[in-house]
Amino acid sequence: MNQPTANRVQTICLVSLTVLAVGAALKWLAPVMIPFVLAFFFSQILSPLVRLLVERMRLPRVAAIAVTLTLASLVFVGTASLITTSVGQLGVNATGYQQKAVEVINATTEWLPLERFGIDDTMVTEPLKRHSIGTLGSLLLGTTNAILELLSNGLLVLIFLVFLLLGPSSRPPAAGSFWEKVDRPIRRYLFAKGILSAATGLLVALVLGLLKVDLALLFGLFAFLLNFIPNIGSVIATLLPIPVVVASPDLSTTAAVLAITVPGLIQFTIGNLIEPKLIGDSLDLSPVAILLNLIIWGMLWGVVGMLLSTPILVMLKILCEQFEDTQALAQLVSASVEPE
């Protein structure tokens, strides 16, 4: 083996070991890193509001940060209350959901010609009925655990957020500097994505609420969160209400169809028509890169990692584009490769 080849193999081995070590460190430090990363993204979204209060309303910086944190805390408390109320509503209506699920299962098995294939109906219906009840219980338990995790991390996120907003990183960098080239597109992406995700969640919640779909506000919250995952997130957010829509005993067929199609149209319009004009090329990501990134961060940090995976990938892509040696990595995760 000649020297250049040996150096190349050595470099690949060192990079591989470094990636594995970083992954292990991120997994081990997840209890601290997750609140810090959440606080970092929140600080990027809230910094324009702080700047607006300082420049337009002439508030002292400390007072502007206090007002911003108060508003953010109210949103956090309202979100936790919303999830708690939705879980309670789900528990109250559990009997009605189970009865409607049983009716749907019976009607489906009557429509299917199972007897022609020598299959007894009870062999199919009984496991499905038991599974529907077990799924509902798992949903209640999983949502409750998510609430506890959210509340336990909330204080640590708030502490990190205070220091990030008070620190120099929340102030705009000097014009023409390297950090200004990196900071501006990251802030613009996070702020625009946050506004568009909030609009998506509000519209979905409003439509489902007008159609009298149970847990409308909770599904709006899911639409807001999942909108940070391009392509895949909008599909999941559209399909999430289907079990509740199908199992709701008081929902008409027309309302059920509208509850699926209208949120899908909202997701499509915002994600494919409005978002590209506001965000530009920062989301020029390959679907394969998005999916692989989603799996990796999901393995490292669970559901929170999946929600943060695309913003992290966008931030790394913008950072890599600023260095000549790493521009190839940015093109590797890009959906379109510029011709040479």
pLDDT tens digit sequence for 149-174: 655 677 788 888 888 888 766 666 66
Tens-digit pLDDT profile for residues 45-95:
888 888 888 888 888 888 888 998 898 888 877 877 777 777 666 666 655
- Angstrom CA distances, 34 to 24, 285, 317, stand at 14, 23, 20
Contact 157, 42 (CB under 8 A): yes
For 253, the token pair is 């067929």
Tens-digit pLDDT profile for residues 111-134:
555 555 555 555 444 554 455 545
Question: Where along the chain do its domains lie?
Answer: 32-170
Tens-digit pLDDT profile for residues 176-210:
666 667 777 777 777 788 888 889 999 999 998 89
